Amino acid sequence: MKFGIMVNEGPYTHQASDSAYHFAKAALAKGHEIFRVFFYHDGVQNGTDFTTPPQDDRNVVKRWSELAEAHGLDLVLCVAAAQRRGLVDEEEQKRHGKSGHNVAPGFRISGLGQLIEAGIQADRLVVFGD
C-alpha cells in the first residue's frame, strides 16, 4: 500500500512525531511505500537541525533524517508554517536576510499543495496530531 503521512505536532512535547516515525518504519519494513511525510503546524519543528537533545534520549530529528537517507523518503516542511516558526533553508536565508539556516538533512521546504497531492496520490493519508 502507498501511504501519505502528515505530522502536526513538534517533537518532544507531543508523541505525534514519534508515533509517525514508528508507523513509517513499520510500514517500510512490511514492504509498503511512503509517498511523502508532510510536516504542518508545529510539526515543522521536527525538521530543525539545531536540536540537541540529551544523549540518553532519542533524537527525533536525526531519526527522521536517517530514515529518509535509508529509504529515500520525501520529508516536506510546509513553507507557510515554517516561515512562522523559524525553519529556514539556505534559499530562504538569502531571501529574508537571516543569520543562519537550520533545515535538517533529508527535509525540504515546499507548499501545501504537496500535502493535498499526498492525499490524492496515496492509498491512505495517515494523520498524526494531538
**DSSP labels, 54-69:** -TTS--HHHHHHHHHH
Catalytic one among 5, 24, 78, 104? 78
129 counts as binding another protein under rule CB under 8 A = yes
Specify whether the backbone of 28 is left (phi greater than 0), alpha (psi in -120 to 50) or beta.
Answer: alpha
In the 8-state DSSP scheme, what is residue 114? H
* Contact by Cβ (8 Å): 25, 70: no
34 counts as binding another protein under rule CB under 8 A = no
Of the residues 70, 80, 90, 94, which one makes contact with another protein according to CB under 8 A = 80
Closer to another protein at the Cβ: 42 or 89? 42
Helix, strand, coil fractions of the chain, as percent rounded to 5: 45, 20, 35
36 counts as binding another protein under rule CB under 8 A = no
Residue 55 carries which side chain, given as an amino acid letter? Q
For residue 78, indicate whether it is catalytic: yes
* Contact by Cβ (8 Å): 125, 105: no
116 counts as binding another protein under rule CB under 8 A = yes
Question: If binding means CB under 8 A, how many residues of this protein chain bind another protein?
Answer: 18
Min dist CB 76 to another protein, Å, is 13
Q: Under the rule (CB under 8 A), what is the footprint of another protein?
A: 6, 8, 40-41, 80-81, 111-113, 115-117, 119-121, 125, 127, 129
- The catalytic site residues sit at 78
